[in-house]
Amino acid sequence: MAQPVEETRIENEHESHPARIQIVVESIHNEHHPKRIIKLNGLTSKQVDACFEGVALMIQAFEVQLKTMPADKIEGLVQLLVPEKPARPTLLREAKMLARAKTRILNSGDWLTAQDVAEVAQLSTVNASSQPSKWKRAGKIFALRHEGTDYFPVYGLDPQTGYRPRSSLAPVISVLADSKDGWGMAFWFGSSNSYLSGRLPKEVLAEDPAAVLKAAKDEVYGPQHG
């Protein structure tokens, strides 16, 4: 969006609406040097021509002075025009945002290791990752990978069936799998969803799995899905 950064008013006692000269900055995504645009409002064509002629004369005068200016003064002028520090890259901002989002997910208390799942589901703990990994490969549950370890969502397990994967979870995973990995699904289940009236999908999964499935389709296919 373009925003005024400087404004000059040209007032004439015979005119009710003073002319304005605005210098605006047009911000463009991923550009470190936004465009500057001069807007001339309320000026006659002669006044506009005079403005541009004046700017051209100023540029010519500056170029003449620049040719005779000592090198140290030119360097000093350049230093005044160059920013003290480079603009922070968008990539760094995005990395920090992602780190905060991952920290929020990891600190939610929603995640179990394969060993944890084996214990609560009373599975064999000799090879604890075996059964949860089979469920994951079959698309019955998903996991996020962190520091070489798979973490499974506790809300994906059903206490009524001995903490096996909820039968309603697999269809949702099937819809989301083409566009989201384990972390992406974790973000989706743990974020406010407008289709669910602002509730989190993980909170609605047990009570209204059909609504969560519709929300997943809305996420992937848009509002025109069948």
3-55 pLDDT, tens digit each:
444 444 444 444 455 555 555 555 555 455 556 666 666 677 787 777 778 87
Of the candidates 221, 222, 199, 220, the one whose C-alpha atom is nearest the C-alpha of residue 211 is 199
pLDDT at 197 exceeding the cut of 50: yes
pLDDT at 118 exceeding the cut of 80: yes
Q: Which one-letter amino acid corresponds to residue 193?
A: N
Q: Is the pTM of this model over 0.85?
A: no
Q: Are 97 and 83 in contact (CB under 8 A)?
A: no
DSSP 57-77: HHHHHHHHHHHHS-HHHHHHH
Using alpha carbons, list the distances in angstroms from residue 223 to 51, 55, 141, 184, 185.
52, 53, 25, 20, 19
- Tell me the three state secondary structure of residue 1: coil
Q: Are 110 and 182 in contact (CB under 8 A)?
A: no
Q: So what's the pLDDT on residue 7?
A: 47
Bridge partners, 4 (sequence order): 24
* DSSP E strand boundaries for the chain: 2-10, 19-26, 35-41, 111-112, 144-146, 149-153, 157-158, 164-165
Whole-angstrom Cα distance, residue 116 to residue 10? 74
Q: So what's the pLDDT on residue 213?
A: 98
pLDDT at 84 exceeding the cut of 70: yes
155-195 pLDDT, tens digit each:
999 999 999 999 999 999 999 999 999 999 999 999 999 99
Buried b (16+ CB within 10 A) or exposed e, 90-111: eeeeeeeeeeeeeeebeebebb
Handedness of CA 165, 167, 169, 174 (dihedral sign): positive
Q: Are 163 and 117 in contact (CB under 8 A)?
A: yes
Q: Are 111 and 144 in contact (CB under 8 A)?
A: yes
Q: Which one-letter amino acid corresponds to residue 140?
A: K
DSSP state for residue 82 in the 8-state scheme: S
209: number of CA atoms within 13 Å, CB side?
12
* Token digits of residue 162: 């001995």
